[in-house]
Chain A
């Protein structure tokens, strides 16, 4: 037995090198045969994870060409309808990515589609966890992390589609500014702080850029790590069935079956996202044109995951209170701040208030 662990092959020597320094044999011994239960609904979280990886990769590519600047330039690229039009460098570089960089349009569309799949998969994954009761003890904390991840995903998506500085995204920012300004006491100051003065200013794209490519993805990455570690440590839930009890996990081993299945599934998700991005246009910013605060396209809509907020803002009665020299815009505070606050608080606390 002991002879077999004296390395002779190059791989053996490499493993020995690592084991002498990091005791990897212990980690491998106790993890490599870990059993995971099998069910199609367990792939929803995987879709979210893989979409996030696709977002990191495609996003990194886009940063190589995107210029997060609101300095005005005159467009002189190959897209004829906008030749000679004044626009921000952010929008001009988005056009450059779309029309001059080979694969640039593909990467933009992969990034946008993957963002939609990311939030969509997280949402459906959350439904799965909710309706199967998988958030219950001992998994309450992971439910809370999941709630925060969905919220961060929505914020990250909103900031991302604000960056190209096209007519649609600028309209979204305009609405955001109006909602921020409605916040009592500090709203005007927060708005001036975010936009570097009055709307639209010159700063919001570069500020959102930093948040979009560094701070928020960093937080998401850290929380995804924690989320997966908890799944790993607490072991995956399983559907009831023959041989399945509260005290066991029945399924296939991490190595080799799940390594191949989950690894292969990443390529399937990547492949389908890429195919859809090649065949179905999304967010054709060149058709919207650059942002200017005195123009708008009829039927402006946010991406679907902001729809509940936009809808709430639409159906709210026009209540506004003006008294003692101050204005309280209930028509915005209630649907855009109080409502999502209550929704996410209830969502996050649900495992602690629900009864088995």
Chain B
């Protein structure tokens, strides 16, 4: 191979199958074809000392790779998973993670570098040539394929017996049906579940500060303030059901503003002395919102930047949400706790087909 490819390339390189590749000066579309460039020997091809040096470099890289991998194993043994170390520019990190990753990573990298260096310096550096064979079958194969298929089709009677064909197609069309039907019990039927929250379970539901866990009294709230809140009894329901489903619907935010600042509400007098309760679940795709700008009364969803005006019945003022944030009607009970008087008037959270 090597002596042949040292011949001037215009005389033809040799392909895989030992045949001559004829480099015409133009291809079938009339474009010029330059001959394959003559192979320029690498230093490692002509100087045995350079080859020996490359050999040592490859061996060193492999050795280094193996040593790093062994170091990785040592790091596994040496460091507890909780030990921390300070690494310049990175900070305090897990010693185990740092040393394991660094050593295994370097080990793997050196092994790869060794193999590539070996291939580039010591393995054949001359290019070889393969033919591309036409992908299309020759005429004889094509004719034979068609003939055999036709024979089989005729023997099956698929075309000559339409009764069999049609009943088979009909039956096969029904075949996917049970597979789909069997998925029916993946979940319960939605029914009216999306329309109700636990705020509607009782005539009055006390409101719990979601952060502190304490019941909210009107005097806890300063004008301009915001509290994330949940209905009393939510934790118990969460224990019982083992899901956060109710929390995903009944979380609210309470804001207090000067009653004179309230431009509109979803129901007459639904506030309590300027305290307003709105769903916390964005009507766009359901992210919980609590970015509130008290000067403008704007509530901003961090997911897709829908913005609602809480002084104006929760109206959408910006962003991709189409509907206002649902409001709860507030009051106080006999003991002076802030309560919600019934459920939201509409489903909370993202829209759905049956919502109406």
By a beta-carbon cutoff of 8 Å, the part of chain A in contact with chain B is 33-35, 38, 70-72, 78, 99-106, 109-110, 138, 171, 174-175, 177-179, 181-189, 191-203, 234-235, 241-243, 245-253, 256-258, 260-261, 263-279, 281, 291-300, 310, 313-320, 322, 325-329, 331-332
Contact = CB atoms under 8 A, between A and B. Distances in A.
Interface residues of B, number: 100
Given A177-B285, A279-B98, 10 more contacts: A181-B350, A181-B353, A183-B353, A198-B245, A243-B127, A260-B115, A269-B112, A314-B319, A318-B306, A326-B353
14 contacts: A105-B96, A177-B285, A192-B189, A199-B245, A200-B244, A235-B132, A248-B129, A277-B105, A278-B100, A278-B101, A292-B244, A299-B302, A327-B355, A332-B284
B15 A104 contact: no
B242 interface: yes
Given A33-B16, A252-B128, A256-B119, A199 B248 contact: yes
B180 to A, nearest CB: 11
B327 interface: no
A110 B15 CA distance: 43
A293 B124 CA distance: 62
A-B pairs, top 8 by smallest CB distance, nearest first, are A278-B101, A243-B36, A264-B115, A178-B285, A271-B109, A267-B112, A274-B105, A320-B322
A234 to B, nearest CB: 7
B18 to A, nearest CB: 11
A329 B356 contact: no
A327 B350 CA distance: 11
A60 B15 CA distance: 43
Contacts of B102: 275, 278-279
Nearest to A331: B320
A330 B181 CA distance: 29
A271 B105 CA distance: 4
- Interface core residue of B76, B108, B242 (most chain A CB under 10 Å): B108
A28 B214 CA distance: 76
Contacts of A320: 322-323, 351
A295 B228 CA distance: 9
Contacts of A35: 16, 128-130
Given A102-B100, A181-B350, A296 B302 contact: yes
Contact of A314 (B37, B129, B248, B305): B305
B345 interface: no
B247 interface: yes
A276 B105 CA distance: 8
Contacts of B123: 256-257, 260
A33 B14 CA distance: 13
B352 A188 contact: yes
A181 B236 CA distance: 28
Contacts of A266: 112
B21 A187 contact: no
Interface string B220-234: 000000001010000
A268 B186 CA distance: 44
Contacts of B288: 293-296
Nearest to A276: B105
Contacts of B173: none
Contacts of A186: 353
Contacts of A247: 131-132
Interface stretch (B27-35, B151-159, B163-171, B254-262): B27-35
A293 B114 CA distance: 51
A251 B127 contact: yes
B98 A196 contact: no
Most B C-beta atoms less than 10 A away, residue of A105, A109, A293: A293
A270 B108 contact: yes
Interface in B79-134: 79-82, 90, 93-94, 96-98, 100-102, 104-116, 118-120, 123-124, 127-132
Given A33-B128, A106-B101, A293-B247, A196 B187 contact: yes
Of A189, A268, A294, A315, the most chain B CB neighbours within 10 A belong to A294
B356 A200 contact: no
